[in-house]
Amino acid sequence: MKKLLVFTALAEGGTGVVLAAYPPIVVRLLFGEGISGAGVITSRLAGFGLIALGVACWPKEGSVRPFHGMMTWSVLAMLYLIYVGIRGEAVGLLLWPAVVAHLILVVLLVGAHFKERMK
């Protein structure tokens, strides 16, 4: 099981890195289509999610990997959405509320993590 988890974490995380760095190649390879505009932004967010999934899947006894995975996803998504908003790229109605939602999630996760460690 450990080898399978390591393989899965590397595969998903690696795909996420490529998707975050250069979405068109992944989309072209997977779907045979090009992307632009909001499709690139959404693809990068999906890449961050795959990186977080890879972090969460990495095996370790007594692990807090689900915490690390969700923190990775939330921080990367929040920072990227801030970047997109500041640049003025494809700013929709829910962009800034999504930033706030991820910020709240990060704060709640950090609080829960410290509370759990204090036990």
pLDDT digits (tens, 9 = 90+) for 10-66: 999 999 999 999 999 999 988 888 999 999 999 999 999 999 999 988 877 767 777
Q: How many domains does the chain have?
A: 1
Query: Which residue do the tokens 């036990």 mark?
Result: 119
User: Does residue 75 surpass a pLDDT of 60?
Assistant: yes
Helix axes 23-31, 2-21, angle to 10 degrees: 110
Query: Which residue do the tokens 């999630």 mark?
Result: 105
Q: Which domain holds residue 103?
A: 2-118
* Collapsed DSSP state (helix, strand, coil) of residue 63: coil
Residue 110 CB partners (closer than 8 Å, separation 6+): 71
Average pLDDT, the chain: 88
Contact 42, 8 (CB under 8 A): no
d(CA 24, CA 7): 24
